[in-house]
Chains A and B, each alone.
Chain A
């Protein structure tokens, strides 16, 4: 009995963890290319879900068309965000960047509230909702979709960043912007790319989880923060470390909610965040940074 319950918690924790991983990778991509923590990352997750909803209900598109259109629109929002709020910034100090990304996220959230109201909405699951039994636990088909799509994205990520020119260019920017610029990489375009990719990933995360958890104008805040937590655990890597970070977070959260208390579920993520930031800010897998004066 106990084991079955724990297995259940772990399985559902894996799927939420996968979502956190996707969002976390989005944070890392922008951070690595620009040094900015994009507070608005969570809002793209929200947009993914809600835009899919509108595509399905207003435009009456079938699911396989609604999803790409939602991703496309989110990506445009990401593009506009970088162009209008980030690029024109005259004094990009950390404080200003924090404030402007927070301001941007609030704006996006507020506009979403105007368009979709405050209610929660749901999207139909991709392939029905008959539960599947594994061991003594059950999962839904949507869980499998989440894990599968996350895996695909991780593979695409790896291929992109390590085997394409533009991906390698982005990695170059993250190691040393000035040097990258000097060898002819258009750094500003890389910055734009990073926002575009991250907003797309955020939207995808939002779309695949919406059938399970409903979506509303304010889901972005918590998801964004937890995604950030995953990224921190993974040391801001845009690869496997953040994925592991997300999975660890998802499982710990699920176990904590099930075994200790469900009211404090959200607090678990933040306590983990604080502990990591205090004890090992480079993440579980990162190397310590030394500063040069």
Chain B
């Protein structure tokens, strides 16, 4: 039962990743691309969690934590760049 749910979830999260790539490539504005990048990191965390469940290994949480922190920091840095033209005053 968990294996079937995992197959469906892999398909759904993979489709979500493709939709994020579409939004990053299409734009039409710069904040849209940054939003797509932010969602891409969220979906990467979801995919890593699913891979950990599929392979029955609970060592993927460190990778997910690093991706979550890098995604947050990069989103904040890009937003501040769009807002002020410089990241650190």
B partners with A = no
